[in-house]
Amino acid sequence: MSIRSLVTPGEFDPEALAAMVEAFDAAYKALNDPGQPKIVLDVIAQRIIESARRGERDPVRLVKAALPWLAYE
């Protein structure tokens, strides 16, 4: 799954999209379980997208928005 498939083309500039992709990949890796159901990945992606829509561009903070219970640094 790619977070890019959930974003409207042109909605984000290339730098924002790169930060979102980095955050999604890091969040997926942080789950430490490659067998997550698609719905879990969709929720993570949507949380990242919503945070990016509010202007967040830092990948670490995007991961924290997606996985608030995770102590991620």
Task: Give the domain ranges of the chain.
Answer: 17-66
Measured between alpha carbons, how far is 68 from 63 in angstroms, rounded to an integer?
A: 8
* Mean confidence (pLDDT) of the chain: 90
Q: Is the pLDDT of residue 28 over 60?
A: yes
Residue 62 and residue 35: Cα distance in Å, rounded?
22
pTM of the model: 0.87
Question: In sequence order, what are the residues at sequence separation of 6 or more whose Cβ sits closer than 8 angstroms to the Cβ of residue 17?
Answer: 4, 7
Reported as a pLDDT band with limits 50, 70 and 90, residue 69 is confident
pLDDT at 23 over 60: yes
Angstrom distance (rounded) from CA 9 to CA 23: 19
